[in-house]
Amino acid sequence: MTSPHLLWLLAGVGTILVLASVIGEILRARLSPAGQNPVIENLNARINAWWVMVICLALAFIAGKPGVVLLFALCSFAALREFLTLTTHNRADHWSLVACFFLILPLQYAFLATDWYGMYSIFIPVYAFLLLPVVSSLRGSTKDFLIRVSETQWALMICVYCASHVPALLYLQIPGFEGRNVILIAYLIFVVQLSDVMQYVWGKLIGRTKVAPTLSPSKTWEGLVGGTLTATAVGTALYWMTPFSPLEAASMCILITLMGFFGGLVMSAIKRDRGIKDWGHLIAGHGGFLDRLDSVIFAAPIFFHVTRWVWSTT
Amino acid sequence: MIPALRVFAGRVTGLAISTFARFMTAPRAIWQGIEPVPHQRVYFANHSSNGDFVLLWTTLPSPLRRQTRPVAALDYWLTSPLRAFIGREVFNAVLIDRRPEARTEDPVAQMVAALDQGSSLILFPEGQRNSSDAPLLPFKSGLYHLAKARPGVDLVPVWIANLNRVMPKGEVIPVPLICTLTFGSPLHLEPDETKEAFLERATQALLALRAPA
């Protein structure tokens, strides 16, 4: 499933990471030789984690469809484990939680791997939505019932349903783009994550005005505008590897970077409410899987459906 | 079985168990009051699940893990050949008998002997799994007797959060949720401190770790 365009994109990302690592080491040597500056240390931890994430993604791309589906199934598992750690549930929900992890999650990705669009696009919003509360109600506990089932459903929608729309891009059929769908995944993740990174960089450099001070102290208007415009400019310049024209690519980039930003905002609101800073601790410097994936999770279903409506024959 | 083979099987089983524990709980160790260095210690923790000592053992860095032995109930761990294999070969547990009328060895003497061989210990001072609504059951006196017999050893409180939600008592299949283990500052027995005062202080030190920093 490797195409020359994918190799170029990976080579480009590799170059960016080499540059970032060099800059990170120079900053460390100048400002934090004994590891005393937490911002520099966090920056270097983030860059190192990026290397690991990019290598995992590249390996999955090389392994083809099964590799990509498996990688995102594992990401969904880790994300769901983080999300359900913070939701309201009691002993009566034990079996519905077990079902989320060991029945619904594997089934969703199995439907995806067999290209059963009619099923994977409604399985969680219809079947899981109606049947999971039944499992919880059978144990007879009514305390916080609506809160418990709603939060569980929300966790499934975010961590499994929305996240699974990233590998779903592999199954679109776009005339003239056959065999290159993996580019759509690489492009989506690259543009959205670049927007995240550039929002962070612009925000650190010139950020003054906070977008939503009660939700997130680190999101500024300067960062938002600078980050989305930079990512959109780069994404537009890469239109030749996508099925889009330059104008279409620019519109898609604005759409997915804004969705990515909204994803970060919504997930920050949840974290703030639960009194935590990060969803987890497994990705050094970044926090948890959800901290890194929140923007992609919000952008993926919209990117998938718009691409499907306009360009795909399925 | 050949001894070398038993040791190998124990290592492999230990790796499989701790990998499974990581998969289910992505355990996070917060070394709040003490560093993870190979000093001799008695880790004492709350006990809400059978997985407690597995999780504590899993989160210790491997040099510490090799010298740390859980204190476990003989009347539970010797009831089947598989449990006996796991208790002895995998975790090298100090097996004590909780039944005063049946036992032939003094549990405190067994624990002190293990300390004298250089081992660290994992101990659950509640003596049984806590399935009540109270955060902790009253401590048994073993921790006090240990503190008195070997006053130089660090007694480290460890609060294990969330494991009772992963595997509530009576359930068969665990739910994957993130667990946190908070390691507090070490305790020692003060001169002239009574048993009741010491156990109360140890209880409060453990409870103080409930809200992660």
**Are B177 and A81 in contact (CB < 8 Å)?**
yes
pLDDT at residue A187 is higher than 90? yes
CATH assignment of the domain containing B74: 3.40.1130.10
Mean pLDDT of B14-24: 92
Mean pLDDT of chain B: 90
Q: How far apart are CA B57 and CA B66, in angstroms?
A: 9
Using CB atoms, pick whichever of A97, A98, A281 lies closest to residue B28.
A281
Domain membership of residue B213 (yes or no) is no
The model's pTM is 0.91
Domain membership of residue B96 (yes or no) is yes
Mean pLDDT of A3-20: 89
Boundaries of domain holding B135 = 3-207
pLDDT at residue A36 is higher than 90? no
Looking at per-residue confidence, does B45 or A210 come out higher?
B45
| C-beta of residue B194 within 8 angstroms of C-beta of residue B152 | no
Name the residue ranges covered by the structural domains of chain A.
1-63, 66-171, 179-314
Q: Touching check for B67 and chain A: CB below 8 Å?
A: no
Q: pLDDT digit string (tens) for A103-137?
A: 999 999 999 999 999 999 999 999 999 999 999 99
Q: How far apart are CA A177 and CA A165, in angstroms?
A: 19
Domain membership of residue B212 (yes or no) is no
pLDDT at residue B101 is higher than 90? no
Range with lowest mean pLDDT among A32-46, A287-301, B105-119, B132-146: A32-46
Q: Touching check for A82 and chain B: CB below 8 Å?
A: yes
Provide the domain count of chain B.
Answer: 1
pLDDT confidence tier of residue B78, bands split at 50, 70 and 90: confident
pLDDT confidence tier of residue B209, bands split at 50, 70 and 90: very high
Mean pLDDT of B106-114: 93
pLDDT at residue A1 is higher than 60? no
Mean pLDDT of B179-185: 95
pLDDT confidence tier of residue B213, bands split at 50, 70 and 90: very low
Best B177, B179, B181, B210 member to test A by mutation, with max A CBs in 10 Å, is B177
pLDDT at residue A314 is higher than 90? no
CA dihedral A269, B162, B166, A86 (to 10 degrees): -10
The predicted pLDDT at position A55 comes to 94
Using CB atoms, pick whichever of A89, A101, A281 lies closest to residue B176.
A101
DSSP string, A269-303: HHHHHHT-S-S-SSBTTTBSHHHHHHHHHHHHHHH
Give the nearest chain B residue to A282 (CA atoms).
Answer: B26
Domain membership of residue B9 (yes or no) is yes
Whether this model's ipTM surpasses 0.90 comes out as no
Using CB atoms, pick whichever of B26, B171, B176 lies closest to residue A280.
B26
On chain B, the residues whose CB falls within 8 A of the CB of A280 are 26, 28, 178
